[in-house]
Amino acid sequence: MIVVTGAAGFIGSNLIKRLNQDNFNYIIAVDKFDREDKNKNLLGLKIKEQVDRDHFFDWLDQNQEQVEFIFHIGARTDTTEFNWEIFQKLNVDYSKRIWQSCVKYQLPLVYASSAATYGLGELGYDDDESKLSSLKPLNPYGESKQVFDLWALEQVDKPFFWAGLKFFNVYGPGEYHKGRMASVVWHAFNQIKQSGGMKLFRSHNSAYKDGEQMRDFIYVKDLVEVCYWLMHHRKSSGIYNLGSGQARTFLDLAKATFKAMGMQENISFIDTPEDIRDNYQYFTEANMNKLRSIGYQKKFHTLEEGVEDYISMLL
């Protein structure tokens, strides 16, 4: 049996779909299952059992001998939430219990960290573990992921294999429930569909022209492929970046979306909201050398390829 936490969410449900493709069908799906919109992500997937997040550790104590692997993808991911207690409970304390259970029962673990730990990127985007303590996240979400990453590195007792993955800007099917936190591709598709045009944020940084702010966008199919590979690799434990390794502009993304929708480009600009302007990232790009160095060789989708594949599903 393979455990996936955050199973009804965007990345968790895509991971289960990928596992099902190779006949891993004894999936233990862990989540709250209290949102009908999210639960739609599980339709058609092969799952052995759904376990409420709050009851998971009791379940694991009783069933640990049958568990082969744990993917801890569940987390509170809202970057506009500023109640630290929520992040402490869900992203830090819960993750520590997952880790400790994996140590106790000798279970391999892959967990979701985040590129939000890099803050404004003033120290670069290098997953060298000796440098991670210097990072300065911009919000409680990023801080919670940083706190757990550093805690994990400090532990004397570790699972025999573990990997923390710093997800960059993920987009793809199954994110419709995320609201403001959904990807720019999702928002672009809906905006273009409704209005025929796309509004991008103006640049408030003289080093970047309007629309030329850059992000490392990674297609969710590539992300879960790495997770799947690590499940079989089970060596070279550590913390790894997981992006495409190639920063692209928001203009590139908008143009790719118009093209995938078969529509003429109609792009305009609006001011970046003041509540996020001071902490707005103008550039992110994952250094992917570390993951490549342990043997991961598959190519990632280009932005255009990923957007075209995603939009074809939305249409």
Please list the active-site residues: 141, 178
- Cα torsion at 135, 69, 12, 113 (round to 10°)? 0
Question: How many residues make up the chain in this entry?
Answer: 315
What are the distances in angstroms from CA 42 to CA 9, 46, 226?
Answer: 9, 8, 21
Query: How crowded is residue 23: how many other Cβ atoms within 10 Å of its Cβ?
Result: 8
Taking the CA atoms of 301, 302, 307 and 309 in sequence, report the sign of the dihedral they define.
negative
Q: β-strand 162-167 against 238-242: which pairing, if any?
A: parallel
Q: How far apart are CA 314 and CA 14, in angstroms?
A: 15
Q: How far apart are CA 52 and CA 100, in angstroms?
A: 19
